[in-house]
Amino acid sequence: MKRVVDQLRDPMLLLLQAAAVLSALLRDWPSTAIIVLVVVFNTTLGVPAAAAGRSRHGRARKAVSAHRLRAA
């Protein structure tokens, strides 16, 4: 459950969640449904990746570290 919450706190997913709420408030149901599906799909794929240590943040940190080592 913690992994799901952590995944949903990702800045991009927070933006998508806000867009879904706004779209629902405007009663644009097709857009709301698509945005919610994207959030669910991304969360479903992201939780196993985070559990395996392959999250985007982890890969990004490794890439930045490698870049710093090469630049030094």
What's the predicted TM-score (pTM) here? 0.61
Domain assignment of residue 66, given as a range: 2-71
Looking at residue 48, its amino acid is P
Could you give the number of structural domains in the chain?
1
Question: Is residue 53 predicted with pLDDT exceeding 60?
Answer: no
pLDDT of residue 15: 93
Rounded distance, CA 40 to CA 8, Å? 9
pLDDT in tens, 19-44: 999 999 999 999 999 999 999 998 88
Most confident of 40-44, 48-52, 56-60: 40-44
Rg, the chain, Cα only: 16
Q: Which of 6, 8, 2 is nearest to 41 (CA)?
A: 8
Q: What is the mean pLDDT of residues 47-66?
A: 73
Question: Is residue 45 predicted with pLDDT exceeding 90?
Answer: no
- Tokens coding 27: 């009663």
> What mean pLDDT value characterizes the chain?
85
